[in-house]
């Protein structure tokens, strides 16, 4: 029988990819709290007689939010990481035989050009000329 505060070690998952929704919720709440807290973002400038932005605190809040987002993306890249998509358009099946042949020839020409670059002009050679004798 487990008492309150005790934890069953055998019941914990050993898979490192195990998702912790409580941690996501905590980080999400922290991000919202930081973003919503605008108490010290503005300060009264007595010399100018108007409100001015406290840039250091605003940038610090931005840094704190980005640090939490970065940490969440490292803990759970499938959920919070940058989405990487690759769109492959396979329209070769929709082409006629003539169009397929033309595209294939274009690709072959591009590969040949990469393998054998076009000839370059010869390098410039500067020759020292002797001054005429007077």
* Rounded Cα–Cα distance for residues 57 and 40 (Å): 7
Q: What is the pLDDT of residue 2?
A: 41
Helices (H), 1-133: 21-36, 55-75, 77-80, 97-115
Q: What is the pLDDT of residues 12-35, one digit of tens each?
A: 445 545 556 666 778 888 888 888
Q: Where are the domains of the chain?
A: 20-80
Global model pTM greater than 0.75: no
pLDDT tier for residue 55 given thresholds of 50, 70 and 90: confident
What the block records as the tokens of 132 is 């005429």
User: Does an H or E element contain 53, and which?
Assistant: strand 50-53
Query: Measuring CA to CA, how many Å separate 60 from each of 18, 35, 45, 68, 119?
Result: 31, 11, 20, 13, 56
Q: What is the pLDDT of residues 106-133, one digit of tens each?
A: 999 989 888 887 778 888 777 777 666 6
pLDDT tier for residue 49 given thresholds of 50, 70 and 90: confident
| Average of per-residue pLDDT values in the chain | 77
* Rounded Cα–Cα distance for residues 46 and 41 (Å): 16
Mapped onto helix, strand or coil, the DSSP state of residue 50 is: strand
pLDDT reading at 47 higher than 90: no
- Placement of tokens 């590969």 in the chain: 111
């Amino acid at each position: 029988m487990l008492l309150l505060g005790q934890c069953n070690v055998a019941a914990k998952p050993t898979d490192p990819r195990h998702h912790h929704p409580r941690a996501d919720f905590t980080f999400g709440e922290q991000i919202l709290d930081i973003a919503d807290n605008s108490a010290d973002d503005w300060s009264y400038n007595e010399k100018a007689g108007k409100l001015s932005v406290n840039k250091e605190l605003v940038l610090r809040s931005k840094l704190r939010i980005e640090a939490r987002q970065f940490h969440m993306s490292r803990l759970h890249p499938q959920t919070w990481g940058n989405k990487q998509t690759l769109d492959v358009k396979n329209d070769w099946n929709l082409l006629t035989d003539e169009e397929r042949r033309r595209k294939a020839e274009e690709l072959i020409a591009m590969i040949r050009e990469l393998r054998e670059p076009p000839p370059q002009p010869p390098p410039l050679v500067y020759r020292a000329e002797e001054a005429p004798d007077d």
